[in-house]
Amino acid sequence: MSDSLKSALGEIRSGRTLLVLAEEDGPQEGMLCCAAELVTADAIAFMAVHGRGLVCLVVTPERMRKLGIRLLASDQGQAQPAFGASFEARQGVTTGISAADRATTIRTAVAEHTGPEHIVMPGHVIPVQACAGGVLARANLYEGALDLVRLAGCMPAAVGCTVLAPDGEVAGADVLGRLAREQGLCVVNLEDIVAERLRSETLVRRVGEAELPSALGGTFRAIVYENSIDRHQHMALVSGDLDPEAEVLVRVHSQCLTGDVLGSERCDCGDQLRKAVGIIADAGAGVIVYMHQEGRGIGLANKLRAYALQDQGRDTVEANLELGFKEDHRNYGVAAQILKDVGVRTIRLLTNNPRKLTGLERYGIRVVERVPLEVPARPGNLEYLRAKQEKMGHLLTGLSLAGR
């Protein structure tokens, strides 16, 4: 455990507020947080004055259900964070908006025997439902705040406030650093929380295993996994004998029913899978992690809705955004745990997507080389590939822009 994380856990146990920092594919962001069960009026006031963002109660899905709080429908679809309906303590508050009243509401909400009868809606406290699995499922600040409180041995509920700059924009590194110095805040990085959970927990379990000869090349040991994060089953296809000290050839492939099985030419997924199987078979050893993440994580039905929008002129990124999703909803925490379970720590990754490298490294997998996995473009997927290249940063060559 890092020294900064040890200090942070001590601060949480003492009821103090600290600063959690995250940097994911962009500028650094920060969140003030403390344990919900120990929150005070002073802590709420500090967050409101120095954080400037929305002061939220971050809870588990189980706590949200116990309180009877519904998640809010949103034009953002499944985009995070998952806000719930605002609420207030039924007793012990006046207007509900004061720092003291909000602290009372929060402590009421996380008390052991609290249920729907102890709160009223709407109110002045906004709940956020953290993702099941915490930072190992989604490495962002809300999950980080909740996991930090949990690691400190407190009730799994946190109070969090994203830090804004004086001009109202999300605070960057300079503002966050100045806040920490001037207020004497303990600072912990989200990566330290992820690393500690990866060190101390295993969230995947094997549920089936068999030899699988492949017409695409070679014989694989197929291992099916369930996990404590989502409802899906994922699979590792292991070729040859893996040396835990070696730099293992790996492909992390997201399921694509239309491309992998039906041979759809709207994407390059099936072609990539077939090529990856051949490369690993020729190498004599390697792993394909086949993830149940259809449509870059939005699911089969939504992928087909995105296809319909593409038929109307949107590209693959625009279609996702119009449906209320991020351009890429995938997460690589489960994939990293599967790789570790089969004995892989250092890899050569078959991919054209640089985000996949950082995604796996965030969860403790060392990527020493990106091995290109380019396949010939087809008339039906040329614009799709161009959009991935131009808008998602995929490292592709040979896609002529002439005639556009």
Identity of the residue numbered 19: L
In the chain the first and final C-alpha atoms are separated, in Å, by 53
- Do 166 and 239 share a domain, yes or no? no
Peptide bond before residue 81 is cis, with ω within 30 degrees of 0: yes
Q: 3-class DSSP state for residue 9?
A: helix
pLDDT digits (tens, 9 = 90+) for 255-266: 999 999 999 888
Q: What is the pLDDT of residue 25?
A: 54
- Do 119 and 247 share a domain, yes or no? no
Confidence of residue 289 (pLDDT cuts 50, 70, 90): very high
The DSSP secondary structure of 72-138, one letter per residue, reads PP-TTTTPSPEEB--EEESSS-SSS-SHHHHHHHHHHHHSTT--GGGEEEEEEEEEEEPPTTGGGT-
Q: What is the pLDDT of residue 74?
A: 53
- CB neighbour list of residue 126: distance below 8 Å, 6 or more residues apart: 54, 55, 56, 57, 83, 84, 86
Containing structural domain, residue 61: 3-198
Q: What is the pLDDT of residue 76?
A: 43
- Do 213 and 162 share a domain, yes or no? no
Q: What is the pLDDT of residue 73?
A: 66
| Bridge partners, 237 (sequence order) | 222, 288
Residue 299 belongs to a domain: no
Confidence of residue 400 (pLDDT cuts 50, 70, 90): low
Q: What are residue 339's phi and psi, to 5 degrees?
A: -60, -40
pLDDT digits (tens, 9 = 90+) for 130-181: 988 888 878 789 999 999 999 999 999 999 999 999 999 999 999 999 999 9
Instruction: Measure the CA–CA gap between 23 and 172, rounded to whole angstroms.
Output: 10
- Do 153 and 253 share a domain, yes or no? no
Q: What is the pLDDT of residue 119?
A: 97
Q: What is the pLDDT of residue 75?
A: 44
Instruction: Measure the CA–CA gap between 189 and 25, rounded to whole angstroms.
Output: 15
- Do 90 and 184 share a domain, yes or no? yes
Which of 233, 229, 231, 243 has its CA nearest to residue 287?
Answer: 243
- Do 254 and 275 share a domain, yes or no? yes
- Do 15 and 66 share a domain, yes or no? yes
Contact 143, 33 (CB under 8 A): no
Both tokens assigned to 331: 């997460």
Q: Which of 144, 179, 198 is the last residue of a domain?
A: 198
Residue 309 belongs to a domain: no
* H or E element in which residue 7 lies: helix 3-13
Q: Which of 175, 198, 221 is the last residue of a domain?
A: 198
- Do 349 and 279 share a domain, yes or no? yes
Lowest mean pLDDT among 12-21, 73-82, 382-391: 73-82
Residue 313 belongs to a domain: no
Known catalytic residues are 328, 330
- Compute the chain's Rg from CA coordinates: 23
Give the mean pLDDT of the chain.
89
pLDDT digits (tens, 9 = 90+) for 182-202: 999 999 999 889 888 877 788
Q: How many domains does the chain have?
A: 2
Residue 312 belongs to a domain: no
Residue 303 belongs to a domain: no
Please give the residue that has the higher pLDDT: either 362 or 278: 278
Both tokens assigned to 274: 């077939």
Average pLDDT of span 296-310 = 87
Q: What is the pLDDT of residue 77?
A: 41
pLDDT digits (tens, 9 = 90+) for 52-106: 999 999 999 999 999 999 998 654 444 467 899 999 999 999 999 999 999 999 9
- Do 289 and 176 share a domain, yes or no? no
CATH of the domain at 271: 3.40.50.10990
Residue 397 belongs to a domain: no
Please give the residue that has the higher pLDDT: either 202 or 35: 35
Q: What is the pLDDT of residue 306?
A: 87
CATH of the domain at 23: 3.90.870.10
Instruction: Measure the CA–CA gap between 289 and 287, rounded to whole angstroms.
Output: 6
Answer positive or negative: Cα dihedral of 146, 148, 149, 153: positive
Confidence of residue 343 (pLDDT cuts 50, 70, 90): very high
Residue 187 belongs to a domain: yes
Residue 58 belongs to a domain: yes
- Do 69 and 187 share a domain, yes or no? yes
pLDDT digits (tens, 9 = 90+) for 207-254: 999 999 988 878 899 999 998 777 789 999 999 999 888 899 999 999
Contact 306, 316 (CB under 8 A): yes
Instruction: Measure the CA–CA gap between 10 and 33, rounded to whole angstroms.
Output: 13
Instruction: Measure the CA–CA gap between 373 and 387, rounded to whole angstroms.
Output: 17
Q: Which of 174, 198, 222 is the last residue of a domain?
A: 198
Place of tokens 């709207």: 266
- Do 30 and 115 share a domain, yes or no? yes
Confidence of residue 26 (pLDDT cuts 50, 70, 90): low
- Do 218 and 194 share a domain, yes or no? no
